[in-house]
């Protein structure tokens, strides 16, 4: 199942992200904003239930989540969607999946996998760019291997390529995909066209660096980034 979020305000924010003139500061802010906006659409599809609560005046029947939710960004770019969803769902638990794309084979390589307990919970995978779909497929498999049913996994993206959607639907039957737009195609380097470029680089601020500076900056960002992740992951140990 595919749900395309066509809200005009979401599309407005998406246009800002697509524009190559958008600064890193505005890009990061807009990613956080659009993730908050699309969270409301995605959460219409999670189960809710009635529960008795006590207001300051009397008891009443209220509406609560019918299933605990885990937010799982695929690093790095998925972090751009995490903040908005976390604001919308402050009670949600968090996991992290680290995958990078082999530039020769375009296949995902795992370097980090941390999840809280997943039994009877809904898992939202956050991956802004659904290009080939290989990273998403790998992430879904990791989560399924922990015992999560495919019907309890949502895949949330900003942009998707037809090739990636076809790949995921073939290998992960029953997955519910959310995206803000299905773009035209993948180019020879497996980037979504017209797309928005490399979401991870633009979010981290390494998009337009000279090659040598780019690698030095990326190493510095990764070192700081993984230290924070290590500290965060200790809560799951």
Show Cβ contacts of residue 212 under 8 Å, excluding neighbours closer than 6 positions: none
pLDDT tier at 224 (50, 70, 90 boundaries)? low
For the chain, domain boundaries: 2-46+65-205
102 included as an active-site residue: no
pLDDT at 4 over 50: yes
76 included as an active-site residue: no
CATH architecture of 2-46+65-205: 3-Layer(aba) Sandwich (3.40)
pLDDT tens for 151-198 read 999 999 999 999 999 999 999 999 999 999 999 999 998 999 999 999
127 included as an active-site residue: no
From 18, 198, 213, 218, the catalytic residue: 198
pLDDT at 83 over 70: yes
From 201, 202, 228, 235, the catalytic residue: 201
| pTM greater than 0.75 (yes/no) | yes
Phi, psi of 27 (to 5 degrees): -60, -50
pLDDT tens for 17-26 read 999 999 999 9
117 included as an active-site residue: no
Beta strands in 55-88 (DSSP E): 59-65, 69-75
Looking at the chain, the whole-number percentage of residues with pLDDT higher than 90 is: 75
pLDDT tier at 214 (50, 70, 90 boundaries)? very low
From 101, 102, 152, 213, the catalytic residue: 101
HSE value, Cβ hemisphere, 13 Å, CA-based, for 101: 21
SS3 (DSSP) at 25: helix
């Amino acid at each position: 199942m595919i749900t395309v979020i066509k809200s005009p305000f979401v599309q407005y924010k998406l246009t800002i992200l697509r524009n190559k003139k958008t600064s890193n500061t505005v890009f990061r802010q807009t990613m956080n904003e659009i993730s908050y906006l699309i969270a409301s659409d995605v959460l219409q599809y999670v189960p809710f239930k009635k529960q008795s609560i006590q207001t300051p005046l009397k008891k009443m029947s209220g509406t609560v989540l019918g299933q605990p939710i885990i937010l799982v960004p695929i690093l790095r770019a998925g972090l751009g969607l995490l903040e908005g969803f976390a604001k919308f769902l402050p009670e949600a638990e968090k996991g992290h999946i680290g995958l990078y794309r082999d530039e020769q084979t375009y296949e995902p390589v795992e370097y980090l996998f941390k999840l809280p307990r997943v039994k009877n919970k809904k898992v939202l995978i956050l991956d802004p760019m659904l290009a080939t779909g290989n990273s998403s497929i790998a992430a879904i498999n990791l989560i399924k291997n922990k015992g999560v049913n495919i019907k309890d996994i949502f895949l949330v993206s900003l942009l998707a390529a037809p090739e990636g959607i076809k790949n995921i639907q073939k290998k992960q039957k029953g997955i519910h995909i959310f995206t803000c737009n299905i773009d035209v195609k993948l180019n020879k380097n497996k980037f979504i066209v017209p797309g928005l470029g490399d979401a991870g680089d633009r979010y981290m601020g390494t998009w337009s660096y000279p090659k040598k500076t780019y690698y030095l900056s990326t190493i510095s960002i990764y070192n700081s980034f993984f230290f924070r992740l290590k500290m965060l992951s200790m809560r799951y140990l």
